[in-house]
Amino acid sequence: MILVTGASGFVGKALCEELMNQNAPVVPVKRFGATIEGITIKEIDGNTDWSDALRECEIVVHLAARVHVRNDYSRDSLSAYRRTNVEGTINLARQAVAAKVRRFIFLSSVKVNGESTAVGHSFRPDDQPMPKDSYGISKMEAEQALRQIAEVTEMEIVIIRSPLVYGPGVMANFGALLCAVRSGWPLPLGSVDNQRSFIALVNLVDFIITCTRHPSAANQTFLISDGKDLSTTELVRGLAQAADIPARLLPLPISLLRLAGRILGKSDSMERLCGNLQIDSSKARTLLEWVPPVSVEQGLRLVLR
């Protein structure tokens, strides 16, 4: 039996559907108010009772988390992230140990490594963590706590750090970019010669399922991506091609884009469009012999469904 937290989310819903397609026994745990079938957990923190959900489960896939909250101007946002992402994860892991769960898979984030990479360099699983925001810090602390639990118990831990995930129904920054491309308006992104790693939802789901089964995944940390990095210019062209519309790109200098970002108070968003963030996912491919089931081009076409 596989327990999946965050089953009503973007990744969780796709994971549960694929597990069910493969006739794997799944216990979906959904957020309060979600319409899918499953066990409802109102709030995830250090006091959540997981006893009903964990009954007869051999594997836990922990996807639920406090993610990036827009307009989060609270004075102590790190405490809010820690309450869900650290205390909630530790509480679930300890109850999983008591329930004799064999393997605990934790979906983390490349933000544990940092926000950007230098030209010609890629993040690796054994790099020194350098998170910059509350979300990344909370994910790092959760990883550290899980490793400590694995050292003193028999439960295996698998940590997966993911970059931006794209697929059908994607929202946030990727969804906004997709809407801009489909609108047909010219975009000033024709000269962005950066490199960024992404992962298609189909590929991430496949890798998580691989980690539920492969013996060599035990107590490992993986960075995962499609394996083909794209510049923002290439990404816009790929989305336009997938949508069967012309890519309308204006070659505005990067310096002007960054200046506009500062003026509009969108420096972070502009840096994600212009900066580098590359992942070395070779460990997943060599240790687990994992091959992404879809290419970047196929993944972008799936987004349009």
Active site residues: 135
Instruction: Give yes or no for a contact between 278 and 195, defined as CB atoms under 8 angstroms apart.
Output: yes
Length of the chain: 305
Q: Of 53, 145, 45, 157, whose CA–CA distance to 105 is shortest?
A: 157
- Output the CA angle 168-239-63, nearest 5 degrees: 35
CA pseudo-torsion sign 78, 83, 85, 91: positive
75: left (phi over 0), alpha (psi -120 to 50) or beta: alpha
The set of residues, in sequence order, having a beta carbon less than 8 Å from that of 170 and lying 6+ positions away, is 10, 178, 201, 303
Query: What is d(CA 112, CA 198) in angstroms, rounded to the nearest whole number?
Result: 16
Give the three-class secondary structure for 107. Answer: strand
Kindly compute the dihedral angle of the four CA atoms of residues 273, 109, 289, 28, in this order, to the nearest 10 degrees: -120
* Cα→Cα distances 270→40, 50, 278, Å: 38, 41, 17
Query: What is d(CA 186, CA 259) in angstroms, rounded to the nearest whole number?
Result: 19
Query: What is d(CA 103, CA 101) in angstroms, rounded to the nearest whole number?
Result: 6
